[in-house]
Chain A
């Protein structure tokens, strides 16, 4: 991208921040989450492993308050501690980058796959079109939750099985959307003229079709990212509920899920990670809403019914 294009994008971004309240609020929340995740990667107030029932020596060495299991939220542990005596604030801070990275990975990979599939279906011969639409229709109806469970039993517990399941079930949505858009675009005059002038198909795809399709899909992807985040968290929640031993990976959904067995008395274990999931998803949704409203400005208008 040349310098002037960067400038245009930046200017558009700044004007969006100024004009759209939703976008600015969403951007602030997401930016705070990114900053928190960086803080979590650099330094956390307590060790992640927790000290279990802490000895006098450990207190002296670290100069911190003891980490007893099931500490109430207090000054030392703002969000309390969990069953292993691990500080929840530290775990949430470390979990922030996991949540963001998982969401971004799923959205970006499934957008890429979807665009590839959609362009292949919409701008090639009918045979590939039929096969691609069939694959899209097949994968759209596969329940991501059960697929994730299947991958967990095959590959083992871990982020990659959930991510694979989600990518497989989200990419057909973008595939379908791209397919519809490409079919609309390929009937337009400028593509017809290009074809008549004898340009190659790859040239037309990269020069004319992708630039027209990709921005729409990306806005859609940003709008969907909050749903993706919640879906990941829900599946991780189920894994957390299913887990027989305490979970090492500080994933927000897993912490909530593991915590529900104590929720009657120690509510904070499930409450605070869930709050962070909710806030992040809310921020992402506002971000997407603000972006998509710019493409249909009449939505913002306030109007009165005339009857």
Chain B
């Protein structure tokens, strides 16, 4: 259904941007004031400082010419050798992947809540424009967009605590050693080990933060659908479907919604990038692992290798998500296919 041309074009852009990100991370390392090796080693002080700087210099290959340095940097990235995290004393790749999986788990659950609920509420809002339902939904979505999600999460966690429910962390401490860490995602791991009780525990723990993270994409979907569905309902093809005597649900969900899918997929490609900030803040409040808590742990230690690794990986993740969103958009909107 796609032309080969389109796929090649998309893939080429994605690869060019991945390379761009890697070059950018190198520029960030290189432009750091003073000696880049000093920053890379985490601004060491004390007797072993010189040794650490020397190791960092060798790692970065600072004695070679610039284009070779750039080549080494990109080459090292693709080999998976991203240096050692100063805070965790582990290879950066390990730390990044562990935290990324934790964050992705949260975001996936959040978006599976947000998208269907947002579509349903948005369509309802569009069908009853100007009525009480619409007004309530409009106010609610405005509040969810404009209230900082970390603040809502703080309120929720304090509220849960006063009720005596302790939902901190990703998994109950007694369960941590009972499942094998195959993928790193506790949901998948518990299914693999066949422990339903652990799965339920993990899902209950992920629910409150996921709901908070889901608020923003949901509210945005409601607002966008409220606008675009009412626009679509005035179009000729919908009018014709109505005149054929199709039922209301069929007209709205089958025909009007179909015209909005490109908008929704593009919207969520963008929202994902914004939601990762929400996920980062909410993770810290609920005491979960993830990108946010990794950054929080990295900042006081000036853990430069870890931050650079995160920057590259999250950037590449965004490219992936955007490309998928673009492909969905192209698949559902024949006008895009060039």
Contacts and interface: CB of A to CB of B under 8 A. Distances in A.
B295 A238 contact: yes
A256 B154 contact: yes
Interface string A140-157: 011111110110111101
A264 interface: yes
Given A134-B20, A238-B296, A242-B296, A153 B311 contact: no
Interface residues of A, dominant DSSP: helix
Contact of A149 (B151, B155, B251, B299): B299
A241 interface: yes
Contacts of A247: none
B295 A145 contact: yes
Contacts of A155: 33
A271 to B, nearest CB: 7
A307 B127 CA distance: 10
B161 interface: yes
A230 B220 CA distance: 15
A152 B43 CA distance: 13
B142 interface: yes
Interface string A285-296: 110010000000
Contact of A278 (B151, B292, B298): B151
Interface residues of B, number: 64
B297 interface: yes
Contacts of B292: 145, 238
Contacts of A150: 28, 304, 307-308, 311
A146 B310 contact: yes
Interface in B129-148: 129-131, 142-143, 145-148
A233 interface: yes
Contact of B304 (A141, A153, A235, A289): A153
B154 A274 contact: yes
A270 interface: yes
Contacts of A195: none
Interface string B272-300: 01101110110011000001100111111
Nearest to A143: B314
Residue from A233, A281, A307 with most neighbouring chain B CB atoms (10 Å): A307
A141 B284 contact: no
Contact of B233 (A153, A256, A263, A305): A305
Given A150-B307, A154-B33, A274 B148 contact: yes
A244 interface: yes
A174 interface: no
Contacts of B147: 278, 281-282
A264 B161 CA distance: 8
Interface string A228-270: 0011011101110111100000000000110010011001001
Quick one: which of B21, B233, B251, B299 has the most chain A CB within 10 A? B299
Contacts of A81: none
B221 interface: no
7 contacts: A149-B299, A230-B148, A242-B300, A271-B154, A277-B151, A278-B147, A301-B130
Interface of A: 134, 137-138, 141-147, 149-150, 152-155, 157, 226-227, 230-231, 233-235, 237-239, 241-244, 256-257, 260, 263-264, 267, 270-271, 274-275, 277-278, 281-282, 284-286, 289, 299, 301-303, 305-307
Given A233-B150, A263-B157, A302-B129, 7 more contacts: A146-B310, A149-B295, A155-B33, A237-B281, A242-B296, A275-B151, A306-B242
